């Protein structure tokens, strides 16, 4: 699918955000490992959540969609911590789903993980997680830490283990989810620092709600999970997704106008930091309960921002900074090189095609904005990455001759209604 993005002068109206995929996939996992039926209300509908549902179904978890007076829900019948071995698990292009299920896969005598997305997920490293699984008694084989991966587990042991947190928090989350299924006490030490700490807080919140007590240090570098705990069935409501609406707010900052977004509760999502940052850039943000009213700035101002605080919103903010007065700097983002694509080099290259004055360093992107916008009129690529597609859309709305986004369907990974929601607010976008 191609998306033709045309210059837009005003956004207005109201939208309800998509549900959080990070909460959805985690609640699906703990519900699947529980004994009994759980109810998950307002789950995300995205490629990643579909991948988790598909994989969990293959290990014996049952899903049933329903509708009641409170709206749509899914009933999840768990396997009481004893998943069945499908032999092969294919998480498609969902990195978090793969890594979370590698923890579950450690319970099997032998299971193979593979993907149809060799140019995206197939290139991402998982060696740090494999090293930690080795410490739990799992034998592993891989393509130099990449897919395909074979786990030979079954005889799991507890004890003290360590995991590197330098490249991804998903390795730690996987071990935390696995720990209650082992049957022995587990202590985890995080080495080399820890990126994306807000996502670990999300994991801990979900585990707590599912009946698992985890003791942890304030710096999130030491964890202890005592044996004898089991995931319990429950009823959960998924909040709106801040990473998704970060792109909507960023688009509003570029285009101009005023609109409201509902169902944005205060929770552990790090991407909430987008709102105060856009305020710092000059935008108006008013919160009333779970509703946020957003108003654009007369002139956007450059900022400096530690991107590790809001990993999944960095590219949207970079798009906004391309229209700001002055030089913006986004640092602490080295782990973005290990996402669906290299989210440092690829965005810089694509933005430069549009005439954006930007450059990269090892762990940062620097942008010198142009409040007058850009000519555009070119075709740009998404590189299998939903955040790249969102970033380019935002910039395209401020290009005098618009732009063409190739393979725009990649937004479906997290936000299938991204284009239609922007159109509902007044964006000039045509899909082909």
* Residues annotated catalytic, as ranges: 312
- How many CB atoms are located within 10 Å of the residue 356 CB? 21
The C-alpha atoms of residue 169 and residue 243 are separated, in whole angstroms, by 16
Residue 2 is encoded by which pair of tokens? 């191609």
**How big is the chain, counted in residues?**
432
Q: Are 300 and 320 in contact (CB under 8 A)?
A: yes
Cis peptide upstream of residue 271 (ω within 30 degrees of 0): no
The C-alpha atoms of residue 27 and residue 76 are separated, in whole angstroms, by 10
The C-alpha atoms of residue 66 and residue 40 are separated, in whole angstroms, by 10
Beta bridge partners of residue 284, listed in sequence order:
295
The C-alpha atoms of residue 193 and residue 221 are separated, in whole angstroms, by 8
- How many CB atoms are located within 10 Å of the residue 41 CB? 17
Q: Which residues contact 349 (CB under 8 A, 6 or more apart)?
A: none
Kindly state the DSSP code that residue 18 receives in the 8-state scheme: P
| Burial of 372 per CB tally in 10 Å (0-12, 13-18, 19+) | exposed
Exposure b/e, 117-154, CB count within 10 A at least 16 = b = beebbebbebbbbbbbbeebbbebebeeebbebebbbe
Q: Which residues contact 278 (CB under 8 A, 6 or more apart)?
A: 249, 250, 253, 285, 294, 317, 320
């Amino acid at each position: 699918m191609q998306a033709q993005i045309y210059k837009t002068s005003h956004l207005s109206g109201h939208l309800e955000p998509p549900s959080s995929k990070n909460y959805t996939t985690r609640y699906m996992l703990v519900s699947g490992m529980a004994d009994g039926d759980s109810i998950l209300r307002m789950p995300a509908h995205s490629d990643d959540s579909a991948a988790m549902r598909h994989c969990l179904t293959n290990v014996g978890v049952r899903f049933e969609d329903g509708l009641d007076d409170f709206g749509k829900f899914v009933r999840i019948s768990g396997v009481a911590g004893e998943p069945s071995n499908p032999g092969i698990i294919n998480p498609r292009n969902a990195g978090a789903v793969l890594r979370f299920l590698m923890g579950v896969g450690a319970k099997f005598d032998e299971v193979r993980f593979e993907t149809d997305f060799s140019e995206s997920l197939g290139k991402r490293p998982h060696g740090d997680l494999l090293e930690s699984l080795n410490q739990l008694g799992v034998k592993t084989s891989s393509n130099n830490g990449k897919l395909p991966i074979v786990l030979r587990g079954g005889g799991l042991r507890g004890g003290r283990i360590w995991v590197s947190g330098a490249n991804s928090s998903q390795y730690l989350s996987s071990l935390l989810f696995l720990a209650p299924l082992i049957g022995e006490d587990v202590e985890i030490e995080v080495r080399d620092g820890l990126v994306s700490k807000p996502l670990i807080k999300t994991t801990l919140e979900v585990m707590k709600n599912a009946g698992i007590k985890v003791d942890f240090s304030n710096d999130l570098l030491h964890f202890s999970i005592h044996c004898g705990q089991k995931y319990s069935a429950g009823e959960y409501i998924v909040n709106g997704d801040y990473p998704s609406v970060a792109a909507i707010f960023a688009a509003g900052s570029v285009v101009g106008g005023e609109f409201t977004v509902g169902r944005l509760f205060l929770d552990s999502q790090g991407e909430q930091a987008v709102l105060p940052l856009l305020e710092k850039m000059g935008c108006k943000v008013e919160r009333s309960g779970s509703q946020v009213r957003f108003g654009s700035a007369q002139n956007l101002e450059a900022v400096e921002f530690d991107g590790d605080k809001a990993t999944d919103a960095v590219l949207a903010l970079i798009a906004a900074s391309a229209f700001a007065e002055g030089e913006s700097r986004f640092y602490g983002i080295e782990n973005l090189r290990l996402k669906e694509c290299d989210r440092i080099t690829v965005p810089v290259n694509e933005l430069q095609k549009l005439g954006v004055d930007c450059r990269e360093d090892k762990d940062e992107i620097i942008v010198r904005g142009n409040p007058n916008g850009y000519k555009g009129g070119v075709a740009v690529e998404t590189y299998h990455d939903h955040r790249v597609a969102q970033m380019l859309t935002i910039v395209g709305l401020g290009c005098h001759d618009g732009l063409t986004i190739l393979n725009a369907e990649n937004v479906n990974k997290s936000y299938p209604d991204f284009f239609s929601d922007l159109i509902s607010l007044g964006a000039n976008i045509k899909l082909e």
